[in-house]
Chain A
């Protein structure tokens, strides 16, 4: 302990009282690493904080490290300060009390995510975040259509059904074994059960499943015969969906990565007449978060970094296709005109999503619903491969 204090003193002297923040984040992507490098340069010049990116191969390594520190009684000088997490890792850290509590609401920029309208900002796979982690970026479900044949794309599920009636055989979704396929079912389950939506954010029960699927089956029973191949053959993978859009056999499809659509147009795999948009009744969003560990020494500096990560400047930079292409978590209705302007790409791609429009985000249902919905679907519509 004295040795460590001495060391801190030395480093403090060297960097003129510049606090050090250790940011543990997956380091497998050159684009992500480059962006974090930019962030550390910014926080150094703006706040005189030294941000050190510890590149992880597997985030759970950092989680077990914090756990080991807690077991060893190191409660104030942890080696992990900021950590990039969501889903299971968050659940594990929360369960073991490894995260700093209730700090997110004190960040000025957190309000820009409009958490009251976007529950996805405060729920992580069905688990309330309780202000223990701040949203950083998101992937949300976007739809895309061929504007040569479709003037007005459907903006909600009832309109989707009408679209399917007008354009029989030109829409489909992947089998629920596929990530995008089960995501479509989740989106429909949430959108069709407006009143009992909170059932989906609790662990699944038999009665809840029966209740939620009632509206879902009614909808799908009507939709399937109007789909590609009368719903008899459904594509196995998300990629096949995009392929059928590319050959013109489908007129409407969806994706979880808005950035992949303009880049597919650039590679000629999708037609130039493809346009991307988000459904107005809501868009299933998968948010990733930043947590601060409970044993962080310079909490103020850590919070300053996270507040910077949520600033329009940093979020706009992250969203640039050439930088990272990760969607902003900010709600555009909360931004000023000059802040919105930051997000305007140099040259807007016609097939890219209009990021200026604010669409409500559906948080991922509680993780137990994934298997339950999938199995129920197979039971009803036949085991398909």
Chain B
């Protein structure tokens, strides 16, 4: 085996280590304190006292249920709407349009989504203003018009409602595009698409309506392929911190928010309780996954009859109705988010319920941009390094896989085993709640390399960026036309020459897209950034979350817009650069992996 092959093989193993070591080390770092062992605080005996204390808390049941239910309901809602949308639009020309509308929402950080929702749905927000204006227009004119001068914002539950409905709305809003786009990426794989076209043609010939065909023939196949990413979505939803922190109740909050508050408590002995609660969070996530799997099972059994009942129009009306209303409300919501955030960012005085501010100013932009210079620099620097490193690792690991496929005699068993481990390791950081392992990781980092702040930041971002970059690249890499390579080998080129002179130029576009995706993921990280640096390094997202609880709605709006712009710039660059250099296949190649990215 040549040197190059040795390198790629070791990178493949390195990738597994890069993802699993931080997660497992982190878990150990919370398991020990949870059972009463914390040398830094002179605690050396293992016991269950911490858990006893945790479960004695009055609000613990409430917190746990809030985390579990908001996560489950939001995921169920977004999965159901995503598949209903697909069932109605999967063969229509709208599918492409939906895809391009939903893609930007994918890179919108959770924190930005939550803040933007505040602008629209809070009692002084756009929605309430529209309702209030409509009411005064419909009721008798003159006297009411003068009354609008002194109308107070209404009092409704959103945000901070005690049942977490606000959290569910925000999570569902963020998850729907994710679920939808993963499913589309499965549907648009050439072999799958050919097979489904066949199903569709024969089923319509038998008189089945398109929606019914989708649910009876296509859905079961697609679902089984997107199951793992969906479970990652569910895990994320039950353990997310930003959204419940910004929109959720605080009497009590969700478990994940409580964990963060306890870890950050000035009283260091709260770390025990925080660690135990972090483990409880893992259990909550596992229970959520368990409930989801049971739900799948039940649906599968019921479906048996559904497949064979011969009904041709099941769900046609219902699905179309729901799909159109989802599209309508989603676009309305997205539009009002953009409008109100933009308006707030340039508003002078703006009194409820007028629909426009009294005047416009660039003051808030000036203030924010001068304060943002340092955070933007940190954010871009970090994201560039993390993402470039991830692309390098992912490319080499994928190359190892490709080389293994070529000479399948050699150590086949070992390679297949590594491949299997790799596939599941990719989802490890996405399935284990961040609040559970990040704190433990920080503990290790502080114990052993206290001063290497940037290294800690790098590693905790890498854990989240690498899986997405790998998955995004893998689609393009595995679809690579093998005949180019065969011809090159036929001409006596080495694997290294093939890699550098043929694969890299041809894969330039997907490499850039993967890089942009990595940059976007790194931009959006809140918890890993705050934890691994102890607030010593500010990024745009940490500043935005801080600003969201600050005194100025207008400055917050500017932060949200900056948060939306930054990843978009990355994607526009990734889209545009291949049109001016390395452009063997034109833009078209670029579009396809872009659509099928995670």
Say yes or no for A248: interface residue by CB 8 A criterion.
yes
User: Which residues from B are CB-within-8-Å of A234?
Assistant: 250-251
Complex: chain A residue closest to B58, CB-CB: A382
A237: chain B residues at CB < 8 Å are 549
Q: Interface stretch among A32-40, A261-269, A301-309, A330-338?
A: A261-269
Q: Are A269 and B257 in contact (CB under 8 A)?
A: no
The answer to whether the Cβ of B433 comes within 8 Å of any Cβ in the partner chain is no
User: A11 interface residue, CB < 8 Å from B?
Assistant: no
Question: Does A149 contact B349, Cβ atoms closer than 8 Å?
Answer: no
Are A243 and B550 neighbours in the complex by a CB distance under 8 Å? yes
* B253 x A385 contact (CB < 8 A): yes
A272 to B124, CA, bound (A): 17
A169 surroundings in chain B (CB, below 8 A): 155
Question: In the complex the two chains form, what is the Cα distance from A246 to B122 in whole Å?
Answer: 13
For window 330-385 of A, CB contacts with B under 8 Å fall at 382-385
Whether A232 contacts B162 in the complex (CB less than 8 A), given A382-B58, A385-B252, comes out as: yes
Specify which of A175, A236, A268 is in contact with B349 (CB 8 Å cutoff).
A268
Q: Which of B58, B251, B258, B552 contacts A232 (CB 8 A)?
A: B251
Q: Which residue of B lies closest to A265 (CB)?
A: B349
Assess whether A239 is in contact with B549, with CB atoms less than 8 Å apart: yes
In the complex, chain B residues 281-303 whose Cβ is within 8 Å of any chain A Cβ: none
Contact bitstring B548-565, A, C-beta under 8 A = 1, else 0: 011111100000000000
Contact residues of A: prevailing secondary structure: loop
B:131-162 near A, CB below 8 Å:
150, 152-153, 155, 160, 162
In the complex, chain A residues whose CB is within 8 Å of the CB of B124 = 247-249
**Contact mask A228-269 → B, CB, 8 Å, 1/0?**
010011101111101100111101000000000000100111
**Which residues of chain A are near B550, meaning CB under 8 Å?**
239, 243
Mark interface residues in B35-74 (1 if CB within 8 Å of A CB, else 0).
0000000000000000000000111000000000000000
A239 CB contacts on chain B under 8 angstroms: 549-551
Tell whether, in the assembled complex, residue B153 and residue A247 are in contact, meaning their CB atoms are under 8 Å apart: yes
**A264 vs B364: C-alpha distance when bound (angstroms):** 12
Question: Is A385's CB under 8 angstroms from B348's CB?
Answer: no
Q: Is B314 an interface residue (CB 8 A)?
A: no
Say yes or no for A182: interface residue by CB 8 A criterion: no
Specify which chain B residues have a CB less than 8 angstroms from the CB of A197 in the assembled complex: none
In the assembled complex, B261 has its CB within 8 A of some CB on chain A: yes
Interface residues of B in 249-269 (CB under 8 A from A): 249-253, 257-258, 261
Q: How far is the CB of A258 from chain B (nearest CB, A)?
A: 15
Interface residues on B, range: 35 or more
Knowing A237-B549, A247-B122, A248-B351, say if A232 contacts B249 (CB, 8 Å).
yes
Contact A243 B249 (CB under 8 A): no
Contact A382-B361, Cβ < 8 Å, known A232-B251, A246-B553, A248-B351: no
Q: Does A148 touch B at the CB level, under 8 Å?
A: yes
A382 near B251 with CB under 8 A, answer yes
How many angstroms from the CA of A249 to the CA of B122 in the assembled complex? Answer: 9
Q: Is B352's CB within 8 Å of the partner chain A?
A: yes
The reply on B434 being an interface residue by CB < 8 A is no
Candidates A229, A249, A382; contact of B153 at CB < 8 Å: A249
- Taking the complex as formed, is B440 at the interface, i.e. its CB lies under 8 A from any CB of chain A? no
CB distance from B485 to the nearest CB of A (A): 56
**Within residues 206 to 242 of chain A, which ones have a CB less than 8 A from any CB in chain B?**
229, 232-234, 236-240, 242
Q: How far is the CB of B545 from chain A (nearest CB, A)?
A: 12
Does chain A have a CB within 8 A of B528?
A: no
Instruction: Decide: B250 and A385 in contact? CB cutoff 8 A.
Output: yes
CB distance from A380 to the nearest CB of B (A): 12
Contact with A264, one of B155, B549, B551 (Cβ below 8 angstroms) = B551
Is B252's CB under 8 angstroms from A248's CB? no
Closest CB in chain B relative to A22 CB, distance in Å: 35
Q: CB-defined interface of A120-161 with B at 8 Å, one 1/0 digit per residue?
A: 000000000000000000000000000011000000000000
Within the complex, what minimum Cβ distance (angstroms) separates A238 from chain B? 8
Q: For A382, give the chain B residue with the smallest CB separation.
A: B251
- Chain A contacts with B in 50-83, Cβ cutoff 8 A: none
| A248 partner, pick from B152, B253, B261, beta carbons under 8 A | B152
Please indicate the chain A residues that have their CB under 8 angstroms from the CB of B162 in the complex. 232-233
B452 to chain A, nearest CB (A): 26
Q: Is the CB of A272 within 8 A of B160?
A: no
B363 within 8 A of A: yes
Q: Given the known inter-chain contacts A169-B155, A268-B347, please indicate yes or no for A243 contacting B361, CB distance below 8 A.
A: no
Question: Within the assembled complex, what's the spacing in Å between the Cα atoms of A169 and B123?
Answer: 12
Residues of B within 8 A of A189 (CB): none
Per-residue CB proximity of B346-387 to A under 8 Å, as 1/0? 011111100000000101100100000000000000000000
Decide yes or no whether A20 CB sits under 8 A from chain B: no
| Nearest opposing residue in chain A for B547, CB measure | A239
Indicate whether A236 sits within 8 Å of B549 (C-beta atoms), given known contacts A148-B150, A267-B363, A384-B251: yes
CB neighbours (8 Å) of A269 from chain B are 551-554
Partner of A385, one of B122, B261, B367: B261
A248 to B550, CA, bound (A): 16
A248–B352 CB distance below 8 A: yes
Query: Counting chain A CB atoms within 10 Å of each CB, which of B123, B349, B361 scores highest?
Result: B349
The chain A residue with its CB closest to the CB of B552 is A269
A246–B124 CA distance with the chains assembled, in angstroms:
10
B261 surroundings in chain A (CB, below 8 A):
385
Whether the Cβ atoms of A268 and B554 lie closer than 8 Å is yes
The chain A residue with its CB closest to the CB of B350 is A268
- Provide the bound-state CA to CA distance between A229 and B154, in Å: 12
Q: Does A271 contact B (CB under 8 A)?
A: yes
Distance between A219 CB and nearest chain B CB, rounded to angstroms: 19
Contact (Cβ within 8 A) B348 A382: no
Q: Nearest Cβ distance between residue A32 and chain B, in whole angstroms?
A: 22
The listed residue (A233, A243, A264) touching B160 by CB distance below 8 A is A233
**Alpha-carbon separation in the docked complex, A169 to B152 (Å):** 11
Do the beta carbons of A243 and B552 come within 8 Å of each other? yes
With a cutoff of 8 Å between Cβ atoms, the chain B residues found around residue A149 in the complex are 150, 152
| A232 CB contacts on chain B under 8 angstroms | 162, 249, 251
Residues of chain A within 8 A (CB-CB) of B253 are: 384-385
- Interface bits B113-127 vs A (CB < 8 Å: 1, else 0): 000000000111000
In the assembled complex, the Cα of A380 lies from the Cα of B364 at a distance in Å of 41
Chain A to chain B contacts (Cβ below 8 Å), 8 pairs: A149-B150, A169-B155, A247-B153, A249-B124, A249-B153, A267-B363, A382-B59, A385-B258
**Besides the known contacts A236-B549, A385-B252, 16 further A-B residue pairs in the complex with CB atoms under 8 A apart:** A229-B160, A233-B162, A233-B249, A240-B549, A243-B551, A243-B552, A248-B153, A249-B122, A249-B153, A267-B554, A268-B348, A271-B349, A383-B57, A383-B59, A384-B252, A385-B261
Name A residues whose Cβ lies closer than 8 Å to a Cβ of B. 148-149, 169-170, 175, 229, 232-234, 236-240, 242-243, 246-249, 251, 264, 267-269, 271-272, 382-385
Closest 4 CB pairs of A and B: A247-B124, A239-B551, A242-B551, A233-B160
Residues of B within 8 A of A (CB): 57-59, 122-124, 150, 152-153, 155, 160, 162, 249-253, 257-258, 261, 347-352, 361, 363-364, 367, 549-554
